[in-house]
Amino acid sequence: MARKPATATDTQTAAAPSNVSRDELLQYYRDMLLIRRFEEKAGQLYGMGLIGGFCHLYIGQEAVVVGLEATAKEGDKRITSYRDHGHMLACGMEARGVMAELTGREGGYSKGKGGSMHMFSREKHFYGGHGIVAAQVPLGAGLAFADKYLGNDNVTFAYFGDGAANQGQVYETYNMAELWDLPVIFVIENNQYAMGTSVKRSTKSTTLFGRGEAFGIPGEQVDGMDVLAVKAAGEKAVAHCRAGKGPYILEVMTYRYRGHSMSDPAKYRTREEVQKMRDERDAIEHVRELLLQGKHATEDDLKAIDKDIKDIVNDSAEFAKESPEPALEELWTDIYAEDLPQGSAEEVA
Amino acid sequence: MATEILMPALSPTMEEGTLAKWLKKEGDAVKSGDIIAEIETDKATMEFEAVDEGILGKILVSEGSQGVKVNTPIAVLVEEGESADDVKAEAPKAAPAEAKSEAPAASAVEQVKTPEPDRSPDWPEGTRMKTMTVREALREAMAEEMERDETVFLMGEEVGEYQGAYKISQGLLDRFGPRRVVDTPISEIGFAGIGTGAALAGLRPIVEFMTFNFAMQAMDHIINSAAKTLYMSGGQMGCPIVFRGPNGAAARVAAQHSQDYAAWYASVPGLKVVMPYSAADAKGLMKQAIRDPNPVIFLENEILYGRSFEVPDLPDFTIPFGKARIARTGKDVTIISFGIGMAHALEAADKLAQDGIEAEVIDLRTLRPIDYGTIIDSVKKTNRCVTVEEGFPVGSIGNHLSAYIMENAFDYLDAPVINCTGKDVPMPYAANLEKHALITPSEVVDAVKKVTYR
């Protein structure tokens, strides 16, 4: 099947599958499928009333975070918005802990006190999960500031959407990140709709990575429905940051199949538009084809992976249903830290 | 195995809805992601996607049905060769009923019993003292902590090469270098966010706002990012950061540059809030703030920067949070204040003494936590109370203290508590109007005479 980019531009990176190993392809397939099945299950549990409030699904965007995580090393940090479930699974957080947080239970990553939009893991260097659009951008630059201050070569991935790209604090952050050569990769996940407003309806400057030029930050647009293209661009960005050359911007062109949140009827785009993306550009189908056509895997191999993933997701859902609600005493805990936070610089140093 | 498709909840508030339309009919194959029905919620008409694959064996709720409760089976999905009648309904596990345990204490403030106040001296008896301005005390505190801990750094507008807009950081750039004394562009929300991110990663930033008026641009990071993250992360993500700078009215700078934010910050759980008056407190509390593993709002005052006080000449001393200072003892009335309000309170106490009224003056020093024990002990002794602060009257610290005293020492009160505050107006520029907008010692004297019926 001919592959067309999510939106056509000249700057997109094409990736040839020839230099990619079978194991890598299988890993991307697995990781992306885990996110998709997990999110479908989350949607189902929301429908059953087991998950409340806001719940923003990542279905359709899986290749972005899976492609970039493939370029990270131990110690690298990541931070994102409220559409965060995929990022957590991709950086190795347990499906059980994420799902149990969605159901507001004791076994969740935040003991049920954060919910879908606010989850964290010191161990996996995942700094949230932020509910205020674009707040994670300066926070991410701050994480990178800490790494530069401590003199290590870690980088930070700061993910945000095309909607957040119109917030003023993004540009204050661009300015300081470049001024101080902070090792941060600004990843704009351009899924083309800020809730119900398309990029074209919110700006005339629609090439979002290009806004970095005003501050001297290099960047590029990437086909976000192609995990290999994302990875290739990510490697370039990471190399730039690790070499101490300052920040880099990746505008990853992607698409969310579901509404902005569970309660979004998505009337701002046609059903045909969504279906066309699913049929022609699906990132998981793409890797599936590469695996089958390259004779890297058989239908049966992939079925076995599908089953494994389904088991992990079902197990996480069971855990999230069985885990008790937090004890009422938890209402009054974690408001203030008594001691040095775990994983602090003094401990790390 | 046949599975039931349940009426979904499609918004945070939906309890029931209308099954507007079936887009698949009995016998149709269904793939995960296919839209099978349209459902009207309280907000909108939503498309309902299938999660599982199979054949739509039977529709249980027909098109147009209204008031269909969430989790009602609406259809049965079967596999090839199965009949819809084979369904072995797996009862949906609904959200568990609310835990039965007792609700926590009725008071919204977790304050079962007023704690015993800490009466220990702030430094040992006989300690040699030296005279210092508040400005010097703050500078010395930051420098000592930067020497002590490599992760402490200062960032803000004009803190480095300019030597500080109010000269608090004078000399620190020469002493510690640009890595640790970081000049920022004029980007309050940006550098407040970067500082908060650095704190989440384990550094100990001191973020200077040239004045707290400009911190309103950064409010989202102070409240949503710094104060709440520990709680939202179930205790994983501490945020050891100090936000400091001058707060309140300076002189003749009018409305946008003259506001006391004490009550704003003191209302936020997750923050600690410090507002010192004397140089000794400024130093001891600043050192404590930098060592505290939580976000601390440190409210200074431009008019106090140049005032001199006696400061203990000790290599290392801190003052714990939540420990008020009894600045003057007395038996007739309790005057509670903090920050520059203390200057008015003490001046009023001197005047009152000439009239034979002995006021006990309490300097709260920290507004979160508040030393309730010292307040209640004093009010039980004097039976009268006046609070003094520069901020606006509505939702003031004094309002909160009045309520607390009423709840916890009502029977000891011989008069209603009076709150002396700034006037309920934006700060005017004209010298005469500005004077009237601010709290004055004579207003405190009048309030004390009212509660003592003199």
| The pLDDT of residue B280 | 98
| The pLDDT of residue B3 | 85
Stretch B71-89: mean pLDDT, rounded?
78
**Alpha-carbon distance values, B122 to B65, B125, B284, B323 (Å):** 73, 9, 9, 9
Considering the domain boundaries, does residue A42 fall inside one? no
pLDDT 10s digits, A35-55 = 999 999 999 999 999 999 999
- Residue B156 to chain A, least CA–CA distance (Å): 12
Q: What is the mean pLDDT of chain B?
A: 92
Q: Greater confidence, A216 or B91?
A: A216
Q: Write out the two tokens for B120.
A: 């220990």
Question: For residue B104, is pLDDT > 70?
Answer: no
| The pLDDT of residue A262 | 86
Q: How far is CA B26 from the centre of its chain?
A: 57
| The pLDDT of residue A216 | 98
Question: For residue B123, is pLDDT > 60?
Answer: yes
From the number of C-beta atoms within 10 Å of its C-beta (0-12, 13-18, 19+), residue B102 rates as exposed
Exposure b/e, A225-261, CB count within 10 A at least 16 = b: bbbbbbbbbbebbbebbeeeebbbbbbbbbbbbbbbb
pLDDT 10s digits, A20-34 = 899 999 999 999 999
The CATH code belonging to domain B325-452 is 3.40.50.920
pLDDT 10s digits, B50-79 = 888 889 999 999 999 999 998 899 999 998
Stretch A283-294: mean pLDDT, rounded?
96
pLDDT 10s digits, B223-257 = 999 999 999 999 999 999 999 999 999 999 999 99
CATH number, domain B3-78, options 2.40.50.100, 3.20.20.70, 3.50.50.60, 2.40.110.10: 2.40.50.100
Which of these, A175, A143, A145, lies nearest to A159 by C-alpha position? Answer: A143
Q: Which of B194, B221, B296 to mutate to test the interface with A (most CBs of A within 10 A)?
A: B194
Q: Write out the two tokens for B325.
A: 């200072």
Segments making up each domain of chain B, as ranges: 3-78, 129-312, 325-452
| The pLDDT of residue B211 | 97
Exposure b/e, A182-196, CB count within 10 A at least 16 = b: bbbbbbbbbbbbbee
* Cβ-defined contact of B184 to A176 (cutoff 8 Å): yes
pLDDT 10s digits, A110-124 = 999 999 999 999 999
- Nearest neighbour of A114 by CB, restricted to B233, B239, B269: B233
Which chain A residue has the Cα nearest residue B47?
A265
| The pLDDT of residue A17 | 61
Q: What is the mean pLDDT of chain A?
A: 92
Q: Tally the domains of chain A.
A: 1
Which chain A residue has the Cα nearest residue B224?
A132
Question: For residue A343, is pLDDT > 50?
Answer: no
Which of these, B150, B238, B222, B205, lies nearest to A344 by C-alpha position? Answer: B238
Q: Which residues of B are catalytic?
A: 188, 257
pLDDT 10s digits, A310-341 = 999 999 999 999 999 999 999 999 999 985 44
* Cβ-defined contact of B224 to A135 (cutoff 8 Å): yes
**CATH number of the structural domain spanning residue A272:** 3.40.50.970
**Residue B14 pLDDT level (bands cut at 50, 70, 90):** confident
**Residue B33 pLDDT level (bands cut at 50, 70, 90):** confident
| The pLDDT of residue A339 | 59
Stretch B335-342: mean pLDDT, rounded?
98
Q: What is the DSSP string of A227-278?
A: HHHHHHHHHHHHHHHHTT---EEEEEE---SS-SSTT---TTS-HHHHHHHH
Rounded to whole angstroms, how far apart are CA atoms A73 and A238? 10
Which class in CATH covers the domain with range B129-312?
A: alpha beta
Considering the domain boundaries, does residue A209 fall inside one? yes
Which of these, A212, A208, A240, A213, lies nearest to A224 by C-alpha position? Answer: A208
- Residue A10 to chain B, least CA–CA distance (Å): 32
* Cβ-defined contact of B198 to A278 (cutoff 8 Å): no
Question: For residue A344, is pLDDT > 50?
Answer: no
- Residue B116 to chain A, least CA–CA distance (Å): 20
How many CB atoms within 10 Å of residue A197? 15
- Nearest neighbour of B238 by CB, restricted to A49, A172, A344: A344
**Residue B109 pLDDT level (bands cut at 50, 70, 90):** low
- A vs B, Cβ pairs < 8 A, gives 251
- Residue A123 to chain B, least CA–CA distance (Å): 10
| The pLDDT of residue A150 | 97
| The pLDDT of residue A14 | 40
Judge contact between A287 and A28, C-beta under 8 A: yes
- Nearest neighbour of B151 by CB, restricted to A48, A79, A345: A345
| The pLDDT of residue B420 | 98
- Nearest neighbour of A337 by CB, restricted to B49, B103, B230: B230
| The pLDDT of residue B92 | 47
pLDDT 10s digits, B185-232 = 999 999 999 999 999 999 999 999 999 999 999 999 999 999 999 999
Stretch B9-13: mean pLDDT, rounded?
84
Q: How far is CA A14 from the centre of its chain?
A: 21
| The pLDDT of residue A196 | 93
| The pLDDT of residue B83 | 75
* Cβ-defined contact of A145 to B179 (cutoff 8 Å): no
Q: Which of B13, B236, B273 to mutate to test the interface with A (most CBs of A within 10 A)?
A: B236
How many CB atoms within 10 Å of residue B301? 23
| The pLDDT of residue B110 | 58
What residue numbers bound the domain in which A245 lies? Answer: 50-321
| The pLDDT of residue B88 | 53
Question: For residue A8, is pLDDT > 50?
Answer: no
* Cβ-defined contact of B197 to A340 (cutoff 8 Å): no
Q: Residue A90 — left, alpha, or beta (φ > 0 → left; ψ -120 to 50 → alpha)? A: alpha
**Residue B112 pLDDT level (bands cut at 50, 70, 90):** low
* Cβ-defined contact of A173 to B238 (cutoff 8 Å): no
| The pLDDT of residue B186 | 98
H-helix segments, B89-244: 134-148, 172-176, 188-200, 219-220, 229-232
Question: For residue A58, is pLDDT > 70?
Answer: yes
Rounded to whole angstroms, how far apart are CA atoms B267 and B274? 13
| The pLDDT of residue B41 | 83
pLDDT 10s digits, A123-182 = 999 999 999 999 999 999 999 999 999 999 999 999 999 999 999 999 999 999 999 999
Question: For residue B103, is pLDDT > 60?
Answer: no
Which of these, B44, B40, B88, lies nearest to B64 by C-alpha position? Answer: B40
* Cβ-defined contact of A49 to B193 (cutoff 8 Å): no
